[in-house]
Amino acid sequence: MSSFDVVIIGSGPGGYVSAIRCAQLGFNTAIIEKYSSLGGTCLNVGCIPSKAMLASSHHYAEIKHFEDHGIELTGEVKINLAKMVARKQAVVDQTSGGVKYLMDKNKITVLEGTGSFVDATHVAVAKADGTTETIEAKNIIIATGSKPSSLPFITIDKERIITSTEALKLPEVPKHLVIIGGGVIGIELGQVYLRLGAQVSVVEYMDRIIPGMDSSLSKELTKVLKKQGMKFYVSHKVQSVERAGDVVTVQAENAKGETITLEGDYALVSVGRRPYTDGLNADKAGVKISDRGQVEVNDHLQTNVPNIYAIGDVVRGAMLAHKAEEEGTMVAELLAGQKPHIDYNLIPGVVYTWPEVAAVGQTEEQLKEAGIAYKSGSFPFKALGRARASADLDGFVKILADAKTDEVLGVHMIGARTADLIAEAVVAMEFKASAEDISRMSHAHPTFAEAVKEAALAATDNRPIHV
């Protein structure tokens, strides 16, 4: 029987990053993945393919503005969705191949099959050819991720009533895509098909889209997407989703108790994701799973069984690839006797629409609820030379700082390239910067990053330069 220092179940961003860090630290490491393609949800049906589709559809949307730039198109511009989807798949295959390369380079044993606990130190790997190999492990890391969740009365048929997985490989551009759930995944995929010509309606139970983020971001994103043609039904509770032939009918009730009916040809159910432990036989190792289906862990990501850890979407916290990566690294370093730490408050959240939305730290709603006195400074992108040069005028940067100490408590931005700009805010907050610290750092001109400096000036003592 093969024996390893560390066995990781699941090859998503949590699992594969953890495997690499374990190998770097000298552990004899194996990783088990049930699919032939490594990289988990993120690489195969999540972050990477959705960003590929967003990038392709963004190019198409940009064509409408070419004339403003003095570029005249003489021929017809057409969408070839099959080619767009094939390109997305090529990006996925290349990225997944890159993970395989990294496994080989780090001498990590990759076992293809479904891993299930035999006991606390043995894992059975059921392979596609029907055979089972049992391996021994000193330490085991559960990194089995998540799957799309649904509502009890919805039947996902994967053809017309679909999840994000199917939405990434549709055979046609929907005429009318009804999206159930206005969170990040629904809104990103909604913008893809809106750009490609679909009518897109979003039904959201809460009173705003991207409800976990600062309400100012939600308001601005709603405004921009409405301008682009997306329709919103917020504070609407979906009651039924039925399919008859090629028609999908969604009924939802608003706050006044009135029922609305939306007819589309596709309904995308994006109401969140659930932790995935099916077939893992966690009970055989004695590992506790919570009522919400999450593997229960302590602050060191250790389960109730001391040699078994869990990371990523399968445990509490934000379901984000970079959160899973940090946790994978942390467990590897803990096993090596190091003292790593994750500040969960400083894990940024991003929506990859255009304009992009990005945030880190506390929202205004959270600060108010906690009774923390704060100052707020905002700066609109339309006042930036760089934004005008590229005609990316929507959005703003908002910095929230402690009223007394000026320490930055939260940074919220919507606009061009904010997915990348947020890294400056993370660094600043990691080093406990004040708004004044940021405002006194030189930011290259002309860049979108100048909006961060200007918002910091506004937060420090209300003295932005360019408004």
Ligand X SMILES: Cc1cc2nc3c(=O)[nH]c(=O)nc-3n(C[C@H](O)[C@H](O)[C@H](O)COP(=O)(O)OP(=O)(O)OC[C@H]3O[C@@H](n4cnc5c(N)ncnc54)[C@H](O)[C@@H]3O)c2cc1C
Q: Which of 33, 214, 265, 394 binds ligand X (CB under 6 A)?
A: 33
Q: Which residues have CB under 8 Å from 78's CB, separation 6+?
A: none
Q: Which of 8, 27, 41, 85 binds ligand X (CB under 6 A)?
A: 41
Q: 10 Å Cβ neighbour count for 260?
A: 14
Q: Which of 25, 35, 251, 274 binds ligand X (CB under 6 A)?
A: 35
Cβ proximity to ligand X: between 202 and 321 the closer is: 321
Number of chain positions touching ligand X (CB under 6 A): 37
Torsions phi, psi for 349 (to 5 deg)? -120, 140
Residue 46 binds ligand X, judged by CB under 6 A: yes
The two tokens of residue 373 are 């006195």
341 carries an active-site annotation:
no
Q: Which residues have CB under 8 Å from 276's CB, separation 6+?
A: 144, 145, 146, 147, 313, 314
Q: Which residues have CB under 8 Å from 228's CB, separation 6+?
A: 191, 194, 195
Selecting among 59, 65, 300, 445, the annotated active-site residue is 445
Q: Which of 6, 8, 11, 332 binds ligand X (CB under 6 A)?
A: 11
**CB–CB of 318/349 below 8 Å?**
yes
Count CA atoms within 13 Å of residue 359 on its CB side.
24
Q: Which of 220, 313, 326, 424 binds ligand X (CB under 6 A)?
A: 313
Residue 174 binds ligand X, judged by CB under 6 A: no
**Alpha-carbon span 30 to 107, nearest angstrom:** 9
Q: How many residues does the chain have?
A: 467
Percentages of the chain per state (helix, strand, coil), in multiples of 5 = 35, 25, 40
Residue 224 binds ligand X, judged by CB under 6 A: no
> Of 9-17, 231-239, 380-388, 440-448, which part binds ligand X (CB under 6 A)?
9-17
Residue 179 binds ligand X, judged by CB under 6 A: no
> Of 140-148, 151-159, 334-342, 405-413, which part binds ligand X (CB under 6 A)?
140-148
Cβ proximity to ligand X: between 162 and 456 the closer is: 162
**CB–CB of 413/357 below 8 Å?**
yes
**CB–CB of 409/456 below 8 Å?**
no
Q: How far is the CB of 223 from ligand X (least distance, A)?
A: 22
Q: How far is the CB of 377 from ligand X (least distance, A)?
A: 27
Cβ proximity to ligand X: between 218 and 434 the closer is: 218
Q: Which residues have CB under 8 Å from 62's CB, separation 6+?
A: none
Q: 10 Å Cβ neighbour count for 1?
A: 7
Q: Residue 306 burial by CB count (10 A; 0-12/13-18/19+): exposed, middle or buried?
A: exposed
Q: How far is the CB of 432 from ligand X (least distance, A)?
A: 25
Q: 10 Å Cβ neighbour count for 104?
A: 10
Residue 362 binds ligand X, judged by CB under 6 A: no
Torsions phi, psi for 136 (to 5 deg)? -110, 145
Cβ proximity to ligand X: between 47 and 411 the closer is: 47
Footprint of ligand X on 94-133 (CB under 6 A): 114-115
Cβ proximity to ligand X: between 92 and 433 the closer is: 92
Torsions phi, psi for 218 (to 5 deg)? -60, -45
Footprint of ligand X on 264-303 (CB under 6 A): 276, 279-280
Residue 415 binds ligand X, judged by CB under 6 A: no
Cβ proximity to ligand X: between 185 and 262 the closer is: 185
Q: Which of 320, 399, 408, 451 binds ligand X (CB under 6 A)?
A: 320
Q: Which of 6, 10, 122, 414 binds ligand X (CB under 6 A)?
A: 10
Instruction: Kindly list the residues in this chain that would bind ligand X in the complex (CB under 6 A).
Output: 9-15, 32-35, 40-42, 45-47, 50, 114-115, 143-146, 164, 185, 276, 279-280, 312-313, 319-322, 324, 352
Q: Just list the catalytic residues.
A: 445
